[in-house]
Amino acid sequence: LKGPVNYDLDPKEWEQISTYQTDLKKYFDKIGLHLVLDSDDGFAYLYQPSGDDDSGLPRITRRIPLPFDVTLLCVLLREKLAEQTIEDVNMANLLKKEDIYEMLNPFYPKTQNEAVQHREFDRLITKILELGFLRRIEKEKSEFYQIEKIIKVRVRAEELNSIKARLLENNDRKTIQDE
């Protein structure tokens, strides 16, 4: 219940979930949670549907809305994941910190002090790491960030354009730093 299980990071847990998925689904359904096992992308997670049903069960999980800047970075990462082709499997979904800075720059006002802005971007990257949408990887003596496929659940492809449009509209009214 602490977060998603990723095949690459937890192969033993993944195998147990795969083996007992029918029993696990039955168990979690009784308490109002649904087990989702995505074999193609290699992750599993629990979620509690909206309280629209008549089950009468209390909410077990918390729904925490993401702040504007975190949502923005999630959308940009999801967009990047959607556009990347898997030409080099070893470098798939990998970004350098500078790549993330470049993705964020157009949404922030120009500043004379790039160090302050980069600290803000680093704070966002840290938050996305905590949420599990990015993973830090050391490769070839360099630091990279891998976009985790679980981000597809938070930002669905069919919602990508509408979320981005709302973010852009909101960004036109005020700058991110006014949030």
Q: Compute CA distances 56 → 15, 31, 50, 146, whole Å.
A: 33, 10, 12, 40
* Whole-structure pTM value: 0.77
Digit-coded pLDDT (tens) for 165-178:
777 776 654 444 44
Dihedral Cα 71, 36, 130, 161, nearest 10 deg? -20
Rounded to 5°, the CA angle 28-22-50 comes to: 35
Digit-coded pLDDT (tens) for 27-57:
998 888 889 998 888 889 888 887 655 566 7
